[in-house]
């Protein structure tokens, strides 16, 4: 990320949102109509050993002059705690497909240096391993989503890793964990059985992966006595990375007739926003309105992608027992000029914040099946929450979207009816407005409104029923341009600010700014 980020700027902007002529959008919200729970795990994160994501981003080592707790950056921990991060996926990603856990435990000075062949062939000291990851989770108050090495590992290696982490009885592996300073067994809430087995995880066919899934699911066990019955570890199988449904069909058909020897609780899905296809080519800086429009149109395909997979899943699992887990998603732009292309370093603009809100809203609408998701990635990689450079840290526009959405964690989805209208930029036509609503566990109503139009504000009149609204408050995220970014020298260009909102005759009345993400809380 280095010094290159300090002076980078953006240009930009344009796009969408539905309504009629231009001025006022009418929303209708019946707070008495309860939908599915928006599982808090939809707001999960992803931390792969890639570039400066772990090393320098999270881990600086206990001897670093950067303030840290047992080697983990204090400033990053403080920032992430504010997001109430529900789960973190680690160690990958493609890195997981060649990760051998034993190299990352024990005294730091005795761990072997290895090559990170998945991402740049750089030397990995293995100083951030299992125990450091679990320490990091404890510091930020999150849960573990551990990805197993199915590609180059073995079922025995995976089973021993789980025993090391979760065994409470005095086995040799449990004693080894105790000797490494961790007497109590760890709690592993989610276990990914492989990663992208159709690609970097082994280039398998669906049938080949299915044979591995059955073996790993049976022999890799969680021995933590606190994880029984309702608290058991959930196993996530590899799902598709393309819009076709053949992979999902194979796995779900087998699951429908599975017996006691194997099981799964979720099927993963990977989908990145790459408007020009693969490899990624859109810039994260210096882009114009045409690229802005194409990017948002591309990201809205997530809805269709989910629907295709859900149609297959519903055929074999009408009770929706198997969760759809979007454990890699976000904007994948071309690497910043002058950086190591294998480190996937990109800037993060207001455009990316709007992209994040649109995806989170899509997940909310699919909450009956999409019960977990992990944006890629947490720090310094792809669409990250945080950028660091030595002792410096800056929060990205995407970070603030996740902060605004904290009240939606485990909230109950409330349908919103509205005329979105359209916005046209070149040959791209998009909705001009997007909106979702939910009631949190205390019953408070929350409404999110995204104005994709980069030039025109939108007046909002939201008719409320099923609730006696007394007052409301709003926070909005916007900036001078869709290409606006936060840098180490100018860290406050894109951050939330209060927005006036009134309650008049059972209606919310406000005006959302162009290119903005707004969250309203309703008091009753």
What torsion, rounded to 10 degrees, do the Cα atoms 140, 143, 147, 148 define?
120
Q: Is the Cα dihedral 330, 397, 482, 485 positive or negative? A: negative
Q: At which of 410, 439, 460 does a domain end?
A: 410
| Measured CA distances, 479 to 123, 226, 350 (Å) | 39, 47, 7
Q: Over 80: is that where the pLDDT of 81 sits? A: yes
Q: For 148-168, what is the mean pLDDT?
A: 98
pLDDT of residue 1: 38
Residues 507/463, Cβ–Cβ less than 8 Å = yes
pLDDT of residue 4: 36
- Do 395 and 437 share a domain, yes or no? no
- Do 109 and 195 share a domain, yes or no? yes
Domain membership flag for residue 29: no
Looking at every residue in the chain, the average pLDDT score rounds to 94
Q: For 75-91, what is the mean pLDDT?
A: 98
- Do 254 and 380 share a domain, yes or no? yes
Per-residue pLDDT tens digits for 422-466: 989 889 999 999 999 999 999 999 999 999 999 999 999 999 999
66: domain CATH number is: 3.20.20.80
- Do 233 and 169 share a domain, yes or no? yes
Per-residue pLDDT tens digits for 282-300: 999 999 888 999 999 999 9
Residue 524's pLDDT band (boundaries 50, 70, 90)? confident
Q: At which of 375, 410, 445 does a domain end?
A: 410
Catalytic residues: 196, 328
Domain membership flag for residue 368: yes
Residues 328/421, Cβ–Cβ less than 8 Å = no
Q: At which of 366, 387, 410 does a domain end?
A: 410
Domain membership flag for residue 25: no
Residue 230's pLDDT band (boundaries 50, 70, 90)? confident
- Do 342 and 485 share a domain, yes or no? no
pLDDT of residue 147: 98
- Do 46 and 67 share a domain, yes or no? yes
Nearest to 148 by CA among 97, 199, 197, 196: 97
pLDDT of residue 3: 35
| Overall domain count for the chain | 2
pLDDT of residue 426: 86
pLDDT of residue 20: 39
Nearest to 43 by CA among 426, 403, 413: 403
- Do 120 and 154 share a domain, yes or no? yes
497: domain CATH number is: 2.60.40.1180
- Do 393 and 436 share a domain, yes or no? no
**Residue range(s) defining the domain that contains residue 405:** 37-410
Per-residue pLDDT tens digits for 296-352: 999 999 999 999 999 999 999 999 999 999 999 999 999 999 999 999 999 999 999
Domain membership flag for residue 380: yes
pLDDT of residue 13: 30
pLDDT of residue 5: 39
Q: For 66-93, what is the mean pLDDT?
A: 98
| Residues whose CB falls within 8 Å of the CB of residue 505, separated by 6 or more in sequence, listed in order | none
Burial 309-339 (b: 16+ CB within 10 A, else e): bbebbeebbeeeebbbbbbbbbbbbbbbeeb
- Do 405 and 455 share a domain, yes or no? no
pLDDT of residue 288: 87
Domain membership flag for residue 5: no
Domain membership flag for residue 147: yes
444: exposed, middle or buried (Cβ count in 10 Å: 0-12, 13-18, 19+)? middle
Nearest to 378 by CA among 69, 86, 101, 162: 86
Q: Over 70: is that where the pLDDT of 178 sits? A: yes
- Do 334 and 448 share a domain, yes or no? no
Domain membership flag for residue 491: yes
Beta-sheet pairing, 471-477 with 501-504: unpaired
- Do 95 and 126 share a domain, yes or no? yes
Q: For 191-209, what is the mean pLDDT?
A: 97
Domain membership flag for residue 344: yes
Q: Over 90: is that where the pLDDT of 413 sits? A: yes
Percent of the chain clearing pLDDT 90 (strictly above): 91
| Helix spans in 180-222 (H) | 206-219
- Do 403 and 431 share a domain, yes or no? no
Q: For 392-418, what is the mean pLDDT?
A: 98
């Amino acid at each position: 990320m280095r010094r290159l980020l300090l002076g980078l700027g953006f240009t930009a902007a344009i796009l969408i949102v539905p309504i009629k002529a231009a001025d006022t959008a009418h929303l209708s919200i019946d707070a008495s109509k309860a939908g599915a729970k928006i599982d808090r795990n939809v707001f999960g994160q992803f931390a792969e050993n890639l570039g400066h994501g772990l090393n320098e981003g999270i881990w600086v080592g206990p001897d670093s002059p950067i303030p840290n707790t047992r080697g983990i950056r204090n400033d990053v921990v403080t920032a992430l705690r504010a997001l109430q991060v529900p789960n973190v996926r680690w160690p990958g990603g493609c890195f997981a497909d060649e990760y051998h856990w034993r190299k990352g435990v024990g005294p730091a000075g005795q761990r072997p240096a290895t090559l990170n062949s998945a991402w740049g062939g750089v030397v990995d000291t293995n100083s951030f391993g299992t125990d450091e990851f679990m320490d990091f989770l404890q510091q930020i108050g999150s849960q573990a989503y551990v990805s197993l090495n199915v590609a180059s590992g073995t079922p025995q290696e995976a089973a021993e890793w789980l025993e090391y982490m979760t065994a409470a009885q005095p086995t040799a592996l449990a004693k080894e964990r105790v000797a490494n300073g961790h007497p109590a067994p760890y709690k592993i809430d989610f276990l990914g059985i492989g990663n992208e087995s159709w690609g970097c995880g082994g280039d398998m066919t669906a049938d080949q992966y299915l044979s591995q899934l059955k073996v790993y699911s049976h022999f890799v066990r969680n021995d933590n006595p606190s994880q029984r019955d309702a608290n058991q570890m959930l196993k996530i199988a590899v799902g598709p990375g393309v819009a076709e449904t053949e992979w999902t069909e194979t796995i779900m058909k087998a699951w429908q007739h599975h017996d006691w020897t194997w099981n799964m609780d979720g099927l993963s899905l990977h989908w990145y926003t790459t408007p020009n296809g693969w490899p990624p080519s859109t810039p994260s800086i210096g882009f114009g309105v045409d690229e802005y429009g194409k990017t948002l149109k591309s990201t809205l395909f997530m809805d269709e992608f989910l629907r295709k997979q859900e149609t297959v899943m519903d055929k074999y699992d009408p009770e929706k027992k198997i969760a759809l887990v979007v454990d890699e998603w976000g904007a994948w732009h071309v690497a910043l000029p002058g950086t190591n292309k294998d480190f996937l370093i990109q800037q993060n603009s207001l455009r990316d914040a709007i992209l994040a809100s649109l995806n989170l809203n899509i997940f909310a609408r699919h909450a009956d099946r999409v019960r977990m998701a992990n944006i890629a990635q947490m720090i310094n990689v792809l669409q990250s929450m945080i950028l660091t450079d030595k002792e410096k840290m800056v929060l990205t526009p995407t970070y603030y979207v996740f902060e605004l959405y904290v009240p939606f964690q485990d909230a109950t989805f409330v349908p919103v009816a509205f005329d979105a209208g359209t916005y046209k930029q070149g040959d791209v036509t998009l909705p001009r407005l997007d909106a979702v609503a939910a009631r949190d566990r205390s019953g408070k109503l929350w409404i999110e409104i995204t104005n994709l139009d980069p030039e025109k504000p939108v007046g909002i009149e939201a008719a409320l029923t099923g609730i006696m609204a007394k007052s409301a408050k709003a926070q909005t995220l916007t900036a001078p341009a869709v290409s606006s970014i936060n840098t180490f020298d100018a860290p406050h260009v894109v951050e939330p600010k209060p927005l006036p909102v009134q309650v008049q005759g059972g209606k919310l009345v406000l005006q959302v700014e162009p290119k903005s993400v707004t969250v309203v809380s309703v008091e009753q």
